[in-house]
Structure 1
């Protein structure tokens, strides 16, 4: 059984999820905010120490025509290289197309944008999108 962390990388925040290879499922964990326009490496390190993942899965943005989304693809790849270098874990990239929309739909108006603050609602969506990214990769690994 391997534990994995999934990441939904954005320019201001990063959704994080945890999953298991045995069940092929994941759960949203948290959403981290960038500090000084950089990932919060202190918070990421704390998650890596807590969960001891054997690998990380990172969503790579694609357009509907199967091309990589130009604006975010390179920052995502840079983040992947930094994760690998800092924590010595393999990082797998997976198409994250439409995961935010799927997360918003799954959470519904109450959890994604209801009574809570807009910021908290967005954070829940980002963490849920990370869950979907991780589950996509886990599903691709099954025979």
Structure 2
């Protein structure tokens, strides 16, 4: 059995955190934060990473209220996941990310999006 690379995304309006791991080791590691306000720049940066790493699966964190209810960012993340699938023709799975940023507990102003993506991917590994 060969190891498959998996990417995870912590989507935000201003930044997207990205982590990677593989199905053999099953450990996530943060790799990059993309800071871009327009879709063309965002997806160009993502395309370059996908070309380099050739993942077989993409995982997107799905933010929800503590009670599980959806909110505005939930819809935006679903749209981002659909765009990833449509642009890159890769399977995309959504993972509940309700407490990923809280687990990290970064300092005020610190960019933690890539570490949040690693938490999201680790949650995926731990449940699949």
TM over 0.5: yes
What is the rounded CA distance, in whole Å, between the counterparts of 2:68 and 2:38 in structure 1?
32
CA deviations over 1:63-117 (Å, ceiling 9, x no partner)? 111222x11011111110110011111000000011011122xxxxxxx439xxx
Aligned to 1:113: 107
> Could you tell me which of 110, 120, 123 is aligned with 1:133?
120
- Alignment partners' CA distance in 1, 2:38 and 2:58: 24
Who is 1:62 aligned against? 64
Larger gyration radius, structure 1 or structure 2: 1
2: distance between equivalents of 1:52 and 1:95?
24
Provide the rounded CA distance (Å) in 2 between the counterparts of 1:52 and 1:8: 19
Structure 2, unpaired ranges of 5+: none
Counterpart Cα distance in 2 of 1:89 and 1:37: 18
Equivalent residue for 2:16, pick from 14, 17, 22: 14
- Offset at 1:26? 0.7
Q: Which has the higher helix share?
A: 1
Shift of 1:39: 6.2
Q: Please say if residues 12 and 37 of structure 1, whose CA atoms lie closer than 8 Å, have aligned partners that are also in contact.
A: no
Q: Which residues of structure 1 form unaligned runs of 5+?
A: 105-111
Match of 1:35 in 2: 37
Could you tell me which residue of structure 1 aligns to residue 82 of structure 2? 81
Distance 1:92 1:37 in 2: 20
Contact 1:11–1:37, Cα closer than 8 Å, also in 2 = no
The TM-score normalised by the length of structure 1 is: 0.82
Other-structure match for 1:90: 91
